[in-house]
Amino acid sequence: MPQRRATIGTTSGLHARPASKFTQAVAATGTDVLIGRDGQPPVTASSVLMVMGLALQGGEEVLLSVDDPAAEPTLDELVALLATDLDAS
């Protein structure tokens, strides 16, 4: 299972607006992506409610994963997206 670590670049964390932008980007990939913290069960990254439920803070590290090895470029794109300030765009 391909995985990538990402750091939340939005200072205020993944509240409604940045979480929505992230989950829309995930959904647009057509890939089943999971997001979570170490030691906790991951959630579906295309669900805004599940992502908001993680209460992720700016600077926090998360783990993204997919079942399909061919989706590794998708993970790289999502890591880059999470590193940006999604409140600024």
pLDDT number for residue 1: 87
Indicate which CATH number applies to the domain containing 15: 3.30.1340.10
Domain hosting residue 38, numbered range: 3-83
Of all residues in the chain, what percent carry a pLDDT higher than 90?
96
45 is known as an active-site residue: no
Helix, strand or coil, per DSSP, at residue 63: strand
The catalytic position among 2, 9, 15, 20 is 15
- Tell me if 39 is assigned to some domain: yes
Helix axes 72-83, 16-29, angle to 10 degrees: 160
Q: What total of structural domains would you count in the chain?
A: 1
- Tell me if 37 is assigned to some domain: yes
- Tell me if 89 is assigned to some domain: no
Question: pTM value?
Answer: 0.95
**Residues 24-64: tens digit of each pLDDT:** 999 999 999 999 999 999 999 999 999 999 999 999 999 99
- Tell me if 20 is assigned to some domain: yes
| Long-range contacts of residues 22-30, Cβ cutoff 8 Å, at least 24 apart | 22/51, 22/78, 22/81, 22/82, 22/86, 23/47, 23/48, 23/51, 25/77, 25/78, 25/81, 26/78, 29/71, 29/74, 29/77, 29/78
Distance, in Å, from the CA atom of 2 to the CA atom of 52, rounded to the nearest integer, reads: 23
- Tell me if 71 is assigned to some domain: yes
